[in-house]
Amino acid sequence: MFGPGQALQGGRDFAISTNGFCCPTIFAMATSWIAPRRGRFVLRIAVASALIFSACGGDEAPAAEVGGVVLESEATTTTTTIQATTTTNVIATTTTETPELTGFPEFNSDSSVTTVGIDAVNFGMTIAQAGAAVNGEFVPVDGTNNECFRIRPAGGPLGVQLTVTQGTIERVDITTPDITTRSGAGVGMTEAGLRDLFGASLTTESSDTGGNRVIFTPSDAEDAQFRVIFETDGETVTSFRSGRVPQILPTNACG
């Protein structure tokens, strides 16, 4: 049995160091390989020494000298990092729903807008009163609340909306060219055509929509609280509305 630092004799002196660790069984197996042949003695001792250090759990294998040449062993660790790639496809879709119309149209191309309403519907009426006046009904456009909301005729036409403020109808918005004012002004008419019809009763100002806002103010004292406002793209009417001040003034009815 050999301890750390002892020398084994045989052909020539050499030493096997175990760095403080002792593995008797492996050492005995390794030394059994030693042959008395002079030419192989050193090589087999070097190999035996390497086996002992590998089996005893040393951190590094020692260098072995064979015929004056030092043989060294290096451990190489290769780490491969795999990165996961996630691809997300986003598909944008836009859905435009057309309101369902039921029953007969409450308004048509024969209908006309005035400073005080549309056909038999006058500003200041409740929804029930307006339905009775046209023998039809109205449905909400964007929900209802006590302050302000919009309704439309259940049977059409599309492009007609009325604004309800604190329980009564106070405004009508028109975006269809089929319905005009009593004088024939409506969507598609030029600003010049509006001036020909209404003359000095019109004032023009810039609109927050990028065009112009052409405002008709009635001359009758009893209608002084009402207006008809035409929105244009700078030349042609794109929509118009009639109603009571101040509900008539903002571009968006309940905005």
Q: What is the pLDDT of residues 193-230, one digit of tens each?
A: 999 999 999 999 999 888 999 999 999 999 999 999 99
Cβ proximity of 190 and 235 under 8 Å = yes
- Mean pLDDT along residues 17-28: 41
Tokens 């004292």 belong to residue: 221
Q: Give pLDDT tens digits for 26-82.
A: 334 444 434 444 444 433 433 334 333 344 444 444 444 444 444 444 455 555 554
Quote the mean pLDDT of the chain. Answer: 75
Q: Kind and range of the H or E element at 42?
A: helix 38-55
Q: Percent of the chain beyond pLDDT 90? A: 54
What is the predicted pLDDT for the residue at 253? 85
pTM for the model stands at 0.62
Q: Give pLDDT tens digits for 95-119.
A: 446 778 887 899 999 999 999 999 9
CA angle, 158 then 247 then 118, to 5°: 45
Cβ proximity of 188 and 207 under 8 Å = no
HSE value, Cβ hemisphere, 13 Å, CA-based, for 182: 8
pLDDT at 92 over 80: no
Q: Side chain identity at 140, as an amino acid letter? A: P
Q: In this predicted model, which residue has the larger pLDDT, 231 or 77?
A: 231
pLDDT at 7 over 80: no
What is the predicted pLDDT for the residue at 137? 94
pLDDT at 246 over 60: yes
Tally of CB atoms within 10 A around 194:
24
End-to-end CA distance of the chain: 100
Q: In this predicted model, which residue has the larger pLDDT, 184 or 97?
A: 184
What is the predicted pLDDT for the residue at 79? 53
Report the CATH number of the 112-244 domain.
2.60.460.10
Range(s) within the chain of domains with CATH label 2.60.460.10: 112-244
Distance CA 132, CA 226 (A): 23
